[in-house]
């Protein structure tokens, strides 16, 4: 069966089944985890924490963050 035909059939499945298949497809792309990823994330978290502690990080309240997310969603919807 050709890929476009498979996609048509898959889109007819219930949402839960489509989600399961999407997850399996994504997992199939992750052949080998990056051995340096964990250390890189740890370093990034430390760097950002140090910026917050030093008072140089750009921060926002939860309400500001929600407004920011809403504005980004609206901008995407207008495209």
pTM of model > 0.95: no
Say which DSSP state 57 is in. S
Share of the chain above pLDDT 90, in %: 80
Residue 3 has pLDDT above 80, yes or no: yes
Query: Distance (Å, rounded) from C-alpha 21 to C-alpha 28?
Result: 11
Angle at 23 between CA 40 and CA 33, to 5 degrees: 30
Query: Distance (Å, rounded) from C-alpha 58 to C-alpha 78?
Result: 27
The 10s digit of each residue's pLDDT in 51-71 is 999 999 999 999 999 999 999
pLDDT interval class at 30 (50, 70, 90): confident
| Residue 1: predicted pLDDT | 82
Nearest Cα neighbor of 21 from 7, 32, 31 is 7
């Amino acid at each position: 069966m050709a890929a476009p035909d498979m996609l048509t059939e898959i889109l007819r499945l219930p949402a839960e089944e489509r989600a399961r298949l999407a997850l399996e497809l994504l997992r199939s792309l992750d052949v080998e985890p990056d051995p340096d990823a964990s250390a890189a994330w740890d370093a990034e978290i430390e760097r950002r924490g140090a910026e917050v502690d030093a008072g140089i990080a750009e921060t926002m309240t939860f309400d500001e963050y929600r407004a920011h997310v809403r504005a980004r969603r609206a901008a995407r919807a207008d495209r």
